[in-house]
Amino acid sequence: MQHDHHGWADERFGAVADTFARNFADFPELGAAVTVHVGGRKVAELWGGVADERTGRPWQADTVVPVFSCAKALVSVSAHLLAQQGRLDLDAPIARYWPEFARGGKRTVTTRMVLAHRAGIPALDATLTFEEIAAWTPVVRAVEEQEPLWEPDTTYEYHGHVFGFVVGEVIRRITGLTPGAYVRETFAEPLGLDAWLGLPAAELPRLARLSEAGGRRPMPGPEHLLTRIVTMNGALVFPGLDEPYGWNDPELHAIELPGAGAVASATGLSAFLAAAVTGLDDAPALLTPATVADATREVSSGAGFLGFDLGGRWGSGFLLPSPAFRPMLGPHSFGNDGAGGQFAFADPHFGVTFAYTANRMIGHGDPRADNLVDAVRTSLGA
């Protein structure tokens, strides 16, 4: 078989294996993986290709890769679990947990407004160095001083990195743990999941190296809000890979960047969502159906602050089915996607969780994950 695909799929999910192989034939796929759980049990776990183009190191079952904004799944599930436990009221002012946050006209801003990208703080005015971002507290101080760009809750715009720092600091104020430590302690370690916000150096040997496919649409200029959102005002590069603090730099992966800086395997992401939504293996789901319903109620859609409507619909921390923007299985699906093609979602109606990871970053119009979701839909007869 060309490209050396490995793994297995339940015979009912043969279409997923066929499509995974076809993606390697049809696209400049380098290395990739897809895992699907149904009812918390793995029905497909496939991987193949090359983890590092420079050395030819093959993609293995335990290869992990930067998954960008799929990080938001880890942070959002954490927030909803704390809400379910009665420790966090998503509709209370954040200042209840973090008094200094109220400065700059943010007294009314709630955690849900941040989860739904409505808080008015998609980017910070402060320009921080990489070292300051890595230290966490300077970002928290900058958030405290930040004034909203719009009246909170009147419109929305993707809160890129700020999402992770604000919800992450709320998690820290309540639990005493940074979001990365909370995710490890609450989910990843007990369940043996390969997913991190802040990658330990010991895991670096199995990290895949990202590669660009080219043909990416250029980012708007450095002053543009979209550029400021994804680069934290130029402290981080995007989509830069091989420059210092680029997305192949181990120093970047070592820090907690909880809005967009997770490292995970496809199996780790799918199993994480399974643990939360369907229960993993024989364990009960960590989130109740009522919590999932609250997380997936539509809060933001249509044209946002910048005037674009890309067709995305948002619940509280998750992308909802958005056929033009990010197709999923059905009306009950919800998930998060990441730059370059990464995608993970859950569907409680079908009992499905899914994750696709790859190291060849393809930009606009990348159909690799969509093709695999179509194959899951076919396999379910949905």
Other C-beta atoms closer than 10 Å to the C-beta of 363 total 15
Backbone phi, psi, residue 326, to 5°:
-160, 90
pTM above 0.95, yes or no: yes
177-205 in b/e form (b: 16+ CB < 10 A) is bbbbbbbbebbbeebebbbbbbbeeeeee
Classified as helix, coil or strand, 166 is helix
Q: How is 318-348 classified by DSSP, letter by letter? A: SEEPBTTTB--SSTT-EEEE-GGG-EEEEET
Phi/psi region, residue 235 (left: phi>0; alpha: psi -120 to 50; beta: rest), is alpha
- Residue 331 CB-density burial (10 A; 0-12 exposed, 13-18 middle, 19+ buried): exposed
Give domain limits for the chain.
Answer: 5-75+181-380
Per-residue pLDDT of the chain (382 residues; tens, 9 = 90+): 345 679 999 999 999 999 999 999 999 999 999 999 999 999 999 999 999 999 999 999 999 999 999 999 999 999 999 999 999 999 999 999 999 999 999 999 999 999 999 999 999 999 999 999 999 999 999 999 999 999 999 999 999 999 999 999 999 999 999 999 999 999 999 999 999 999 999 999 999 999 987 655 667 877 899 999 999 998 998 878 888 899 999 999 999 999 999 999 999 999 999 999 999 999 999 999 999 999 999 999 999 999 989 889 999 999 999 888 888 999 999 999 999 999 999 999 999 999 999 999 998 789 999 999 999 999 999 7
Is 5-75+181-380 a CATH 2.40.30.10 domain? no
DSSP category for residue 187: I
- Reported as a single tens digit per residue, the pLDDT across 196-234 is 999 999 999 999 999 987 655 667 877 899 999 999 998
